[in-house]
Each structure stands twice: as C-alpha cells, then as structure tokens.
Structure 1
Amino acid sequence: MNQKSQRDQAHIRTLDGLRGCAALAVTMFHGILHFNVSLIPRVLYAPAQSLSDGTDIWVKFLLAIFNGDSAVILFFVLSGYVLGASLDRTLDRGEPALVTSIEFLVKRVARIYPAMFFCMLVYMLLSFVFVPHIEYPVISPITAFQSATLYDIGVHGPSWSLLVEVVAAPFVVAFVLLRRTFGFFALVLAIGYAMLAIDYPVLVGSLPNLWPYLVSFGIGVALSSPEFKAIDFDVKPTHLAISIVLFVFARHFVARGNISGLIVHSFLAGLVVFTASRAYRGLAYKFLISRPVQFLGRISYSFYLLNVPILYAVWGTILIINPHPEKHYLLWGVGSALVTTILTLPLAVFSERFIERPGIFFISSLIRRVNNLRKSLAHAS
C-alpha cells in the first residue's frame, strides 16, 4: 500500500490501531492510579522536571505512556476525523444538508448507546453477584438506567467522554457545513472559537465537559477535509514516530492547568492522526496495522466501556487477597490492569459482534428505508 491509497481509503487501518492503543492505555492508567490516588496531584499533574524521587519519575513515565487524558483527546480527534469524512462523503452524493445532518445525529446516538446499555447490564449483574462478598459498587436497576442514558455517570467514570461525544455531534455537523459553505477559512475561525471556549465555557452553552475538547473535534474535522487531504506531503517513518513521542510526553513537562498545554496536546494528537493516516511504512506503521493491535481497535469501544465493571471486580478481589495493596501499589495496579484486560476481551468481542454491529445495521437499514420512502413521495408529487 502506498501513501495515496492509504489516505484515500474510507477506512484507514492505522487509525483503528491508534484507537485500540488508546483504549488499552485507559485501563492501564486507572490500574496504576487506583491503589495510590496521591499519585494524581503529586506525580500525574506535576511537571516531569519538578520530580526528584526515582520511583515518582518511573511512575510519571508509565503514566505518560498509559495516559487517560491523552487517550480521550486522541479519541476526540479521531471522532472528528472519521465523522467529518463520513459527512463529506454523504454530502458529496448530493444529499440535502438538513436530511444528512439529522441522519448523522441519529446514527451517532444509535452508535453510542446500545453498547453502553449492554455494559450497564453487565455491571448490574456483576453487582448482584459480588455485593456484599467483595468491595464493589452497588448498581441498582435505576442506577444502571441513569448511567446507560448518560444522565448520571457517577458509577462509570470513563463514560463522561461518551457524553462529550453526544453533545459534540451537532458541532461536528456545524464545522463540516461551515467549511463546505464558506470555505476552509471559516473552519479555522470555528477552531479558534473552540479555543476561546476553553476559558469561556458559556461559548458552547456550558455543555458538560465539552469546552476543553471541542477544539480536538475541530482539528479532526480539519484533517479529514479535502483541503488537508490535497496537501502533498510524504510521511516518512520518522514523522509518525516523532509525532507519537511528542504527543505522549510533551504535556507532562507543563503544569496540568496550563491552557496552552491542553491546546498543544490537542494539536499533537492531530499530528499523530495526520501522520498515521498517511503512513505506509516504518516500525510504527507496522505496529499499528499488526493483527493484535487491529483486533484491539475493532473492539476498542466495547472494551473501553466493559473494562470498568471488570476492573472493580478485580480490585475487590485483590483487597481480599491483600488488604493493603497500597504498599506495592504499582505491582498490584499494573497487575489488576493486565488481568482486567484478559477478562474483558471476550466480553468486548461479544459486545462488538452482537451489540454494536446489529445496532449499526439496524439504524442504517431504517434510515435507508426512510430515505427510499422520502424519495418515492418526492417523485410522486
């Protein structure tokens, strides 16, 4: 495969690989931190150059590689890229903008919610099994429903990013329509507006957690645009490798609350997506398209959701084996993440095959039938 064929594909395998790596990183991230939450202010949020303890430096290195913040920013840039490209393909076929926008939003909701409902069903069943035998969240049917609908995400922390995906969807539509109507210049202005929203959340209606991350979606939409794809740039193996290294480590040298750090982190995520989408050689490229990483990418969404109830089960079991895991928090934390990964994989495979795929097929079939009916009525009139 050459560079042009890679970037012209509707489905780019390297991006699947990035998604799989990000999902695994989130599990490791939570595992490392769980038994020593003091790491969050002392190590995770501290600039790397301010650390002097050898163990803290080592943990900082691990938290940079397996970083939840980096993962979700990468998820959001990937969403902007994939969704922007999908909207463009539909609009290029001459479909009305209003109809396309409504279909897009319906598909987005249908893509996100089925797997989340399945996850909360699993979570509730595990709660019935484990409570009160081990330390485990109590998940009542009401709690499960509220979490599945993203009304209350307290018992499933990572699902906050799903809520961001839902509320960001109309903005993705707006970004694409702005660019198609007024040109790429308008999209650049919109991304600038998204940057201002980081300091002034009211600019995006103070929607939950959208203000720090809307710029990531905008960057993804820009990267998927014909204007960006027309740029003739030969991505060498070193470009992708350097992009990944900078994205993984750069933000850990600035204070957590630094807005410029967040913006640079978002643009570096965009650089990773840009170089990965055009890469066709090199070790990083081969790693991203390898079978294990592609497998993780395929099930990444279900894995991202289902690892949470499994993590709690593993943590609760560890507390029975060793009531004081904080004394060796790194060993128990990394171990819990690895065990959780192994246990979550079959559940994620099941969810991807029997929940995600049928949901996508059903909503696509329904929309196709509605469109056929709409066109038939239009011809008849």
Structure 2
Amino acid sequence: MDLSFTPEEEAFRAEVRAFLDENLPDELARKGRNTEGLTKEDMAGWHARLNARGWLAATWPTEHGGPGWGAVERHIFEEECARANAPRIVPFGLNMLGPVLIKFGTAEQKAEILPRILDGSDWWCQGYSEPGAGSDLASLKSRAVREGDEYVINGQKTWTTLGQHANRIFCLVRTSTEGKPQEGISFVLVDMDTPGVELRPIKLLDGGHEVNEVFFTDVRVPVSNLVGEENKGWTIAKYLLTHERTNIAGVGLSGKDLEKLKALSQQLVRGGRPLAQDPLFAAQMAEVEIDLEAMRVLNLRMLSAAKEGAAPGMQSSMLKIKGTVIRQRIQSLIKTALGASAAPFPARDLPENALSVPQEAAGAAAYYFNHRKLSIFGGSNEIQRNIIAKDLFGG
C-alpha cells in the first residue's frame, strides 16, 4: 500500500504552513517551544484565529461548521501545528463532545451546542473518571435519578482537566443498577453553574493547576440534556474514547520533541564530544526514532482505512500504547541529556544571572513528570492491551 502523500496533500501542507507563518503569534510559539503553560486567553485566542479560517473543528463535517477534511488532511494539519509549536486545540468540546453530538445528539442539541463550541461561548470539560473508576470506567458510582422532567445527580468526578476554565461538563452517570454495569450508564450534559456543582483544584507536583475534582450534590438537570438513549451511554463512551485515544498518540508532537532531542544532543558536550557521538545515547535515540517512524506508518495505514470508512477499533488502542510510550521515552532522554540543567521551572522564572544552559532546559523536568500521566489517562495502557487481546483472540 502506498503511504506517500499525493501532490494535492502536499499542496495542503504548504497552505497550512503559510497560515501558521502568518497567524501564529510569536509569543504563543515561544510558549510552545519552551513548554510553558497557556492561559485561557491564549487558548481562546488561538481557537478564534482557527475558527475564522474555518479550521477549528478539524473532525467535523462542513454542514456543522467543520472544514470537511479527510483523515490525511487532519494528520497533516496536526503535524504542521506541532512543528510550528502552535498550541494544541483543547479537545473536550471540539474533538470529543462535538463528534458525539453529530452522531448521537438530537437536532435541537446540535443546533444549540455546536455553534457555541465553535465561537467559544461554551468551554467543556470531561466528567468520566471517579475516585474508584478510572480505567475500570464501568464501575462508576455517580447516580442520576429521574424525577419528572429532571435528573437529580449525586456523585464525584476527578482528574477533570481544565475544569477551572469550563462552564459546562459532559458526564457519565449511572441511571440503572440492573444487568451488567455497562448497561446502566447514561451520557448527560451539565452546566457548571448549576446549584450543587462544586469544583476543587488538584495541585500537581510542579505546583500547577491542570486537573480538578468535581462534586455533584442534588444537581438538577433537564432530561433534554441526555444525549442518546437512557442507559445506552456506554456505546457513546466507547465512541468518544476512540477519538480521545487516537488524539493522545501525538505523532506530530513526538516528531517535534525528537527534533529537539537531536538538536540538544549536538549542543551538549560530554567527555569532550557532542552527546550525539556517545554510542549508548546515540543508540537510544536511534531506537526511539525507528519506533516513531513505525508508529507513523501505522497511523497512516489507519488514515488510509478511514478514507474508506473503516472504524479504527483496536488500532486506536495500539496507537495510544505506542504513542504514549514513545513520548515518555523522548522526554526521558531529553531530561537525561540535560542532567542537572533540566530545570523544574519555566524560562520566565529563571533569574537574570542563571547558569548558561540551553533554552530547552527550562521546564524540562516538569514536562517530563507531567508526561508520566500519558500511559494512564484515556484508559491505561494495561487496559488497552486487554482490549487488543480480546479483539484478536476473542473472549
């Protein structure tokens, strides 16, 4: 199978590069290059620029405001954005809820919610994980009891990424305890300012605030906020997770970080020679580059199949496993290369008289530790291996 890009696809790549050259602010590119945290204003501003070009909702069809791209165009766009150090699109509304509503939502839900995702009126977060239900998501305990035209929700969600910026949350809740655990789950939309919703920050090792806990105490939600059928939310949950896991693989991001690693290995000197000439370190870099190229081929094979309408299935789990392991290995090698220079704080916090170290050193330790989560969220890699085994061998 020919996995090369066509002339038309390469022309699209040139169009994306030209757009990024003209529209990506230098300050945002600098933050991306130095792995600095973004403010909500940073993210919203970049979303607005993409939306004005019609490129924000890359996975949406044109009738709902998307660009109508195929899978290969989406891959090229993400690859070029990573190369330019552009901010990643916040996925919760655009890459998770949007596709769910397009497939499972009512006409009213699509007409009300999708435009507000595009113009930034609504920022969404994801209410899946609970203290006792992470990779074993079907064991979730948050309950939604129907009373007339409302659901009354009680329970807790955790690891809610960027919940502090969101005004709405999509949740998995238990609406029945009969039958298999997966059969009693529903997918419900909740406004964060509804009485009884409480958000508490979780402080990370580096002092950052990226994730949160969300508590629901007698939260009343209209039944019209149910997406799909009651007790059929597990089907929606799996559909959404397929999109999430493919996105987590981060082929373009790994490529960008590998280039950073290569540049550092040429700059940094160990034993009187560039680190790139150290046999052991050079072998480790070569190994991860080979694995990344193999994953890129797998990704392109999936994209080729997607053009024909094939669903990714277990391939999304394969990408998630390999992609997260590769990203973690690259970050580990960057940290190893920098050694004691791998500062645990961003460049803006370095004193003027700081030791002369590569700019990439700023925040390298924090970036490494933050990336330990990749093999856990979106369904841990251990669970993904079970999914692959079940698909291949049955059971």
> Given the two structures, how large is their TM-score scaled by the length of structure 1?
0.27
> Given the two structures, how large is their TM-score scaled by the length of structure 2?
0.27
Q: Which has the higher helix share?
A: 1
Q: Which has the higher strand share?
A: 2
